[in-house]
């Protein structure tokens, strides 16, 4: 049911130096760039870096002040955001987890290429579940 770590999110206020570090020093390669134009903190820029089948999703809110995203407990903070696990079937995975007392924190959200939802570990750390429809 659970297949692999799909991606790890990294929120930064300095995306280009972060990307340079991962690509030039650690050997990641840039797969894709995208922008989500409207979020509560303004536009969200995404850069997907890959190494050995693992993706680091570099995230930046270029118009947000660092103080609006940095403090813990306010939703977003600089640094690692969550662990994302790829699943075969999002509905089946969520059903099994719910039977074990682990409800979805949100989702599933279904898009043309994927479905995603989030659960929390016992300490409240987010774990995204992602089912890819096409890859």
- Predicted structure pTM score: 0.68
Nearest to 26 by CA among 18, 34, 15: 18
- In the 8-state DSSP scheme, what is residue 101? T
Is the separation of the CB atoms in 31 and 55 below 8 Å?
Answer: yes
List, for residues 52-92, the tens digit of each pLDDT value.
Answer: 898 999 999 988 876 666 544 555 677 777 788 899 999 99
> Hey, where are the domains in the chain?
2-132
- Within 10 Å of residue 53's Cβ, how many Cβ atoms? 7
* 48 CB-contact burial (10 Å; exposed 0-12 / middle 13-18 / buried 19+): middle
Tell me the pLDDT tens digit for each residue of 78-133.
Answer: 777 778 889 999 999 999 999 989 999 999 999 999 999 999 887 677 889 999 99
**What is 2-132's CATH superfamily?**
2,3-Dihydroxybiphenyl 1,2-Dioxygenase, domain 1 (3.10.180.10)
């Amino acid at each position: 049911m659970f297949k692999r770590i799909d991606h790890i999110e990294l929120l930064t206020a300095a995306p280009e130096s972060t990307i340079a570090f991962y690509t030039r020093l650690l050997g990641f390669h840039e797969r894709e760039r995208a922008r989500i134009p409207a979020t509560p903190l303004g536009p969200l820029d995404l850069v997907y870096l890959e190494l050995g089948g693992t993706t680091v999703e570099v995230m930046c809110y270029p118009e947000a002040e660092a103080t609006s995203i940095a403090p813990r407990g306010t939703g977003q903070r600089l640094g690692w955001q969550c662990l994302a696990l790829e699943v075969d079937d999002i509905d089946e995975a969520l059903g099994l987890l719910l039977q074990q007392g682990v409800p979805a924190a949100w989702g599933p959200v279904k898009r043309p290429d994927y479905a995603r939802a989030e659960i929390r570990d016992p300490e409240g750390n987010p774990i995204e579940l992602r089912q890819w429809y096409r890859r």
